[in-house]
Amino acid sequence: MKTIVLVTGIIMAGLMQGCATNLSKPAAAPQPASVRLGTFANVELQPVTIAEPFSAAGANQKAARKINELLMNQMAYVFPGLNAAEKKNGGTLVIKPLIKEIKFIGGAARFWVGAMAGSSAVLMEVTYLEKETGAVVARGEFYDQASAYAGGYNMGATDNLMLNNIVSQIVNYSSANR
């Protein structure tokens, strides 16, 4: 009987731990752009890419597509004429968003495993380049995380909110440096 209680206790303790999410966090806040981003006549936002070690997971790919969709929609408010076919004189700013690290817990995993699936987290690097010279105008890292337990309680709503939050950080940075 004592053995059953001990084994049950060990299993329960393991289940309560969940899977740890250990992604890197930015060392410092993004620095201001060396040139005001609004000085460029044209702005090209490239599609979001994922670093190779994290690109195989289907949930990560789905998260990247959602981040890309949100980023394209929201950056259009910061830079009217974003990705316009007709170019104006005055230089072109290229914005390159990269998901350096990601662990995204999808809805099915949240439903079946709950908090034991671990936390969702994303680390993005966004590079702002002057197209004509290739000079880096700004570069920033942005990080957000969704709690495993909150995700377990609300069936992944906080995991999806994390995607909105990371996009908001990038949009706010771009707007502040415009």
Read off the pLDDT band of 108 (50, 70, 90).
Answer: low
DSSP the chain: -HHHHHHHHHHHHHHHH---------SSPPPPPSS-GGG-SEEEEPPPEE-GGGSS-HHHHHHHHHHHHHHHHHHHHHSTTTT-SSPPSS-EEEEEEEEEEEE---HHHHHHHGGGG--EEEEEEEEEEETTT--EEEEEEEEEEE-HHHHHHTTTHHHHHHHHHHHHHHHHHHHHT-
Q: Is the pLDDT of residue 148 over 50?
A: no
Percent of the chain with pLDDT over 90: 62
Read off the pLDDT band of 49 (50, 70, 90).
Answer: very high
**Mean pLDDT, the chain, integer:** 83
Please state which of the ranges 30-34, 144-148, 154-158 shows the lowest mean pLDDT. 154-158
Percent of the chain with pLDDT over 70: 75
- Please report the pLDDT score of residue 101 as a whole number: 96
Read off the pLDDT band of 3 (50, 70, 90).
Answer: low
- Please report the pLDDT score of residue 7 as a whole number: 44
Read off the pLDDT band of 117 (50, 70, 90).
Answer: low
Question: In the chain, what are the domains?
Answer: 19-176 (3.30.160)
Q: Is the pLDDT of residue 119 over 80?
A: no
Q: Is the pLDDT of residue 150 over 50?
A: no
